């Protein structure tokens, strides 16, 4: 009987050691976020780098029902505390809202339209990183106008 208990204990210790070795041998890259990750429902996520990478800003649009909202990025920061104004390189829209993306550094009445997201296009993404056909929009975004039907 003692022999079976000893074998069972030895097997448990070996299994625990193997599990610990696998846990601690994971590569550091496995801790990185996947592109466009962790963007909640009913939000617009603005990413610092192209391809939905880097730090992000989560912007909550107004409630549905014809509501509009203008968001200026002049006092907005990425999660890493760096300013988001003129520093956005990609975005993901997880709302049903229509969004106009503006280069409006001084809050002027006639901003430059940089981009547009149609309403009812959940998961729509845009990448302004190098190599994109719209690389000229990289790091120019300074305000947004939401319309939520």
- pLDDT means over runs of 10, the chain (149 residues): 46 41 34 79 95 95 92 93 95 96 72 90 89 74 94
- Is the entire prediction scored with pTM above 0.85? no
- Residues 6 or more apart whose Cβ sits within 8 Å of residue 113: 100, 101, 102
Largest CA distance in the chain: 86
Q: Where are the domains of the chain?
A: 35-148
What are 63-95's pLDDT values in tens digits? 999 899 999 999 899 999 999 999 999 999 999
- Residue 74 has a CB neighbour count (10 Å cut-off) of 14
For 35-148, CATH number?
A: 2.60.20.10
């Amino acid at each position: 009987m003692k022999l079976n208990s000893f074998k069972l204990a030895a097997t448990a210790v070996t299994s625990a050691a193997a599990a610990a070795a696998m846990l601690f041998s994971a590569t550091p890259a496995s801790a990185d976020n996947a592109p466009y990750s962790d963007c909640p429902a009913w939000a617009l996520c603005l990413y610092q780098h192209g391809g939905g990478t880097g730090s992000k800003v989560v912007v909550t649009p107004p409630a549905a029902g014809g509501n509009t909202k203008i968001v200026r990025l002049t006092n907005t920061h990425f999660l890493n505390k760096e300013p988001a104004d003129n520093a956005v390189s990609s975005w993901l829209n997880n709302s049903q809202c229509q969004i106009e993306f503006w280069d409006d550094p001084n809050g002027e009445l006639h901003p430059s339209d940089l981009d547009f997201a149609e309403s009812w296009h959940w998961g729509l993404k845009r990448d302004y990183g190098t190599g994109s056909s719209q690389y000229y929009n990289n790091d120019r975004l300074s305000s947004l106008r939401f319309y939520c039907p």
